[in-house]
Chain A
Amino acid sequence: GESVGLHLPTLSVQEGDNSIINCAYSNSASDYFIWYKQESGKGPQFIIDIRSNMDKRQGQRVTVLLNKTVKHLSLQIAATQPGDSAVYFCAETPNRDDKIIFGKGTRLHILP
């Protein structure tokens, strides 16, 4: 569901290591999923998307994995860099309508 009123969990990762950010979605009928990155003071930016007929999709340094059995989505970032510091939100389209539902977000903190 929507992440109103919840403080964001934090993931701390050493620079150069891989990051894995997880998300549980709510509706088994959702057929499209998106990961967004939001840097401090800015609007969310699209990272990567995946349709429900896929279980993996790769982009530049990022991979999204979808497990429909357990309604779980993950974002993997390879060789994490300082510029990856941000809040990451997953989003789903549960009703095939005009709205998408955002997950609660995870703050990624990069350790030097």
Chain B
Amino acid sequence: SQTIHQWPATLVQPVGSPLSLECTVEGTSNPNLYWYRQAAGRGLQLLFYSVGIGQISSEVPQNLSASRPQDRQFILSSKKLLLSDSGFYLCACSHAGIPGYTYEQYFGPGTRLTVT
């Protein structure tokens, strides 16, 4: 079964600084990959998803971007962080759309980002 790694686990960054969060997946190949943000005490907001290397779909306008340089690597970035970027960032993978697989998504442990 797949394992999703995210790092760092926690991060405190000043406003205006750049951001790079990394997600890697083990134990599977050709996954769909997702970035979600969760504000404190709230639900999950889908930010980006990718069905393959170099293929990124953005769900909401924002100052974040995503990249998928390798099959099992998904990176979330920002050139200049805003206070509103604080939150809990979750990476997930699935094999939705592939015969024999369900739509279930598997989540990583998350990165808690605080922008000060």
Q: Which residues of A contact B (CB under 8 A)?
A: 2-8, 32, 34, 36, 41-46, 49, 89, 91, 93, 96-100, 102-105
Contact = CB atoms under 8 A, between A and B. Distances in A.
A27 B50 CA distance: 23
> Which 8 A-B pairs have CB atoms at the shortest separation, nearest pair first?
A3-B43, A43-B107, A4-B45, A93-B103, A102-B44, A98-B96, A98-B32, A32-B103
A44 B104 contact: no
9 contacts: A3-B44, A3-B45, A43-B90, A43-B108, A93-B96, A99-B49, A99-B96, A100-B94, A100-B103
Contact of B49 (A44, A98, A102): A98
Interface of B: 4, 32, 34, 39, 41-46, 49, 51, 88, 90, 92, 94, 96-97, 102-110, 112
Contacts of A34: 103-105
Contacts of A91: 105
Given A32-B103, A97-B97, A98-B97, A42 B42 contact: no
B43 A6 contact: yes
A45 B43 contact: no
Contact of B104 (A8, A42, A49, A103): A49
Given A2-B43, A3-B43, A41 B105 contact: no
Nearest to A42: B109
A43 B43 contact: no
A49 B102 contact: yes
Contacts of B97: 96-98
Contacts of A45: 107
A2 B51 contact: no
